[in-house]
Structure 1
Amino acid sequence: MPDRNNEADIDVLLNGLSPLARQASRILAYLAEFPDGLGGSDAALSSRVGEVSAEHVAIARRSLLAAGLAMQVNFSTKLIATPETLRNLVENLKGIEAYLRSHTDRNVVELVLTEPGAKSTLRKAIDSLPGLSPIMFQTSDVFFRLARAAKRDLVVLAPFIDNQGADLLVELFSICRPGVHCHLVCRPLSEPQCGEAFLRRADDFRRIGVLVYEYALPSTLPSGRETFHAKVVLSDDDLFYVGSSNFMGSALDRSFECGVLVGGGAAKELSSVLEAVRSIAKPVRHY
């Protein structure tokens, strides 16, 4: 079957793949040499290409199918595009990558989701729609990325913590490199929706040297206090997550959660805000 060189479809493909131009160019360059590679699994192809994830391959596969450059045959994907077409696309993607390197926005924002259970109905519905699907589907993976990236400070705002969340917090703070200051801002440890799970792992938090702050102040508000509901993980003043996910099992892997990973000028602004939060919060000296 000949290529369907429809310019509109090609434009849609390039626009859809532009956020991962570097990875997509590697995948298409490999397929130009080894077209049968698309017939296997996403994981198998990603391991052959190198420096790309199975999710990157899945997005490239869906884009090729949507553009008419590949077709589904039973349970396998057959490449229709010629090597020449793929090489032209690779050059276009390299150009997009170069442009994005030299024309960066003040903030770089990536969508982060937690899927409500493995193989959820929501995930199937998202994957069935045209266009680029979110690249990051597990919020906890982003938390680990932030912990590993921290060079000076890792700051976590967590109003609600359960046992699974406390275990994750211990793991995140544990993987920080030596010398990184670990900060946890929470609601009062005297309250069960935060304190019970935290105190169960108190020895581990002490061993790591986590600096803990309780943010709940007397106020004239109808609730009688000033506190917080934000969920934030900040790595230095460079990169942060903000979204709906609490440090609770229901949020980490059983509910649909949505947030963003942001790098750029907004991280410096948020760093200042969180410094202000810690300045008015109550440091927990002994826990």
Structure 2
Amino acid sequence: MTTHDTRDGVWRSGNRVDLLENGEEFFAAVFAAIAAARHEVLLETFILFEDKIGLELHRLLVEAAQRGVRVEVLVDGYGSPEFSPEFLAQLSAAGARLRMFDPHRRLLGMRLHVFRRMHRKLLVVDGTTAFVGGINFSADHVADFGPEAKQDYAVRLQGPVVADIRDFIEVSIASRGVGSDWQPSADATPMQAAGDAQVMLLLRDNTRRSTAIEQEYRRAIRAARREILIANAYFFPGYGFLRDLRNAARRGVAVSLIFQGEPDTQIALTAARSLYRYFIDAGVRIHEYCERPFHGKVALVDDDWCTVGSSNLDPLSLSLNLEANVFIRDEGFVRDLRARLDDLRQHHCKAVDPASVPKRRAWQSLTRPLLFHCLRHFPDWAGWLPAHTPRTRLVSAPVTTRASETP
């Protein structure tokens, strides 16, 4: 097995990668894997709701635990704040463990602690199959939810990189969901090859990996020769990232961006649109997906690099949240992702007309430098936000242990 190291991750050869678009493909694959689990199910997710998707996942986890499968689940205390007593009791009785990352009570009915969330979406079954992406366990990821159903992506992985994902989750369990102590081994135990793709797992945390995902993006953008295609739900990165994209367009790379046109959070569209003139002046093409909320976090560069994961390209994901992306080198997979995104652009998006974007006004010669100054320094400023030692609470545990345990 050939490995190629970066500072924060290791490229693993010999993997199979399958693209899963939207909840219909993702949940079918995930639920089948859990139903067939024989040894363990390790899951981390930002959102788990008690709707039809969450209840089906719950049923499968309970059944797996009842047949002796080790079941470990971590959810975020902001994204998944409440569960019914019945939901938790059934997991406990079956022998499953469910932990909550950084739980807090509501204040006047509002969820607080929006910062420093556990935003990862990771699943490993039996150490042989893993799932990584942006899709949560909630019904708003399937089309029959209605016009607010989300457009999103994930991948199913088999091969040596699965061991990295599994090892990380084990470290995460032992370190209260943070996982900062995890280090990929350059001499990992060989696993049987499952395909031809090279894959690297990268995490973003608030210690030494605070810029790992962003820096891998920027390395690929600076090396681009022909094409950059980014489809991201929340886009407001730092100035260096913006400059790399604009410079790529100016040297002749075809740069195309897909953003939300019908956002679930209006500020996301407002923030992205404030950057349109900056990009359009350099020849960047912009599309807005207007059928329903866009929740994807994917990108490709040329014919042999792409990424799928949980990380948006905004201040929360790049400076505060705990995130996980996989980076993939495989021409066949990149071709598949490009075909899906091309179909999205051609049939489901509205191209932004450069003539419709307001020209730069005189007063913007003063405000734009201020904006980019803020973007340049935001990661440092974000570190000043209130911080604390993250903790997890064991909210569902085997009946022989105490449910109030804090590992």
The match for 2:296 is 230
Deviations, residues 130-161 of structure 1 (Å, cap 9, x unaligned): xxxxxx96110111122123221101111113
What is the CA–CA distance in structure 2 between the aligned matches of 1:209 and 1:255, rounded to whole Å?
A: 32
Change (3 A) 1:106 1:137: farther
What is the CA–CA distance in structure 2 between the aligned matches of 1:272 and 1:151, rounded to whole Å?
A: 19
What is the CA–CA distance in structure 2 between the aligned matches of 1:105 and 1:230, rounded to whole Å?
A: 25
State the secondary structure of the residue aligned to 2:295.
coil
The match for 2:258 is 185
Change (3 A) 1:203 1:111: same
1:19 matches 2:3: yes
State the secondary structure of the residue aligned to 2:326.
strand
1:112 matches 2:183: no
Q: Is the 8 A contact 2:287 2:350 kept in 1?
A: yes
1:279 matches 2:279: no
Offset at residue 21 of structure 1 (A): 8.1
What is the CA–CA distance in structure 1 between the aligned matches of 2:226 and 2:198, rounded to whole Å?
A: 21
The match for 2:329 is 263
What is the CA–CA distance in structure 2 between the aligned matches of 1:272 and 1:19, rounded to whole Å?
A: 29
Q: Quick one: which amino acid aligns to residue 247 of structure 2?
A: I
Task: Give me the identity figure in percent.
Answer: 24
Q: Is the 8 A contact 1:232 1:242 kept in 2?
A: yes
Unaligned runs of 5+ in 1: 1-14, 24-92, 97-102, 124-135, 218-225
Deviations, residues 209-232 of structure 1 (Å, cap 9, x unaligned): 111111122xxxxxxxx3431101
Deviations, residues 109-135 of structure 1 (Å, cap 9, x unaligned): 1011111x235xxx7xxxxxxxxxxxx
State the secondary structure of the residue aligned to 1:144.
helix
What is the CA–CA distance in structure 1 between the aligned matches of 2:315 and 2:257, rounded to whole Å?
A: 18
Change (3 A) 1:167 1:195: farther
The match for 2:387 is none
Q: Using CA pairs under 8 Å that are at least 6 residues apart, name the structure with larger relative contact order, 1 or 2.
A: 2
1:157 matches 2:157: no
The match for 1:173 is 245
Change (3 A) 1:260 1:21: closer
**Correspondence 1:184-263 to 2 at 5 A:** 184-188=257-261, 192-217=266-291, 226-263=292-329
Q: Is the 8 A contact 1:187 1:214 kept in 2?
A: yes
State the secondary structure of the residue aligned to 2:235.
coil
What is the CA–CA distance in structure 2 between the aligned matches of 1:175 and 1:105, rounded to whole Å?
A: 35
Change (3 A) 1:197 1:166: farther
Q: Quick one: which amino acid aligns to residue 205 of structure 1?
A: F
Q: Is the 8 A contact 2:201 2:326 kept in 1?
A: yes
Residue 146 of structure 1, aligned match among 206, 220, 233? 220
Change (3 A) 1:147 1:112: same
Q: Quick one: which amino acid aligns to residue 261 of structure 2?
A: P
Offset at residue 199 of structure 1 (A): 3.0
Task: Note the aligned Cα RMSD (angstroms).
Answer: 3.4
State the secondary structure of the residue aligned to 2:199.
strand
State the secondary structure of the residue aligned to 2:220.
helix
What is the CA–CA distance in structure 1 between the aligned matches of 2:5 and 2:271, rounded to whole Å?
A: 43
Where does structure 1 differ by over 3 angstroms across 4 or more consecutive aligned residues?
Answer: 20-23, 166-169
Higher relative strand content: 2
Q: Is the 8 A contact 2:262 2:290 kept in 1?
A: no
Change (3 A) 1:243 1:210: same
Q: Quick one: which amino acid aligns to residue 193 of structure 1?
A: I
State the secondary structure of the residue aligned to 1:175.
helix
Change (3 A) 1:230 1:167: same
What is the CA–CA distance in structure 1 between the aligned matches of 2:256 and 2:270, rounded to whole Å?
A: 19
Q: Is the 8 A contact 2:204 2:322 kept in 1?
A: yes
Offset at residue 205 of structure 1 (A): 1.1
Unaligned runs of 5+ in 2: 8-186, 358-407
State the secondary structure of the residue aligned to 2:345.
helix
